[in-house]
Amino acid sequence: MVYRFSRCKVFMKKLLICFFLILILLLINTSTLAYTVDFPYGYEDYPAWIYCYSGFSSWTLQWMDSNCIQYSSCGCGSLLYSATPYLSNDAYTLGNNVNEVVHVYLDPLVADVDVLGITYMLAYVEPDGSFRSIAEADIGFNTYYPIGDATAYSNLYDVPSIGLHELGHLLGLGHSSNPSASMYGSFAAGETRRTLTQDDILGLCVMY
Ligand SMILES: [Zn+2]
**What does the longest C-alpha to C-alpha distance in the chain come to?**
85
Tell me the H-state helices in the chain: 2-32, 58-72, 108-111, 159-170, 198-207
- The rounded Å distance from CA 91 to ligand 1 centre is 20
Q: Phi, psi at residue 67, to the nearest 5°? A: -65, -45
- The rounded Å distance from CA 20 to ligand 1 centre is 35
Task: Summarize pLDDT for 72-120 with one digit per residue, the tens.
Answer: 999 999 999 999 999 999 999 999 999 999 999 999 999 989 999 999 9
- The rounded Å distance from CA 175 to ligand 1 centre is 6
Distance from C-alpha of 136 to C-alpha of 145, rounded to nearest angstrom:
26
pLDDT of residue 32: 58
Burial profile 38-60: b = 16 or more Cβ within 10 angstroms, e = fewer: bbeebbeebbbebbbbeebeeeb
User: Domain spanning 48-207 has what CATH number?
Assistant: 3.40.390.10
- The rounded Å distance from CA 44 to ligand 1 centre is 22
Distance from C-alpha of 99 to C-alpha of 121, rounded to nearest angstrom:
10
pLDDT of residue 130: 85
Domain ranges of the chain: 1-31, 48-207
pLDDT of residue 90: 98
- The rounded Å distance from CA 179 to ligand 1 centre is 12
Q: Which residues of the chain have pLDDT under 50?
A: 1-30
- The rounded Å distance from CA 57 to ligand 1 centre is 23
pLDDT of residue 129: 87
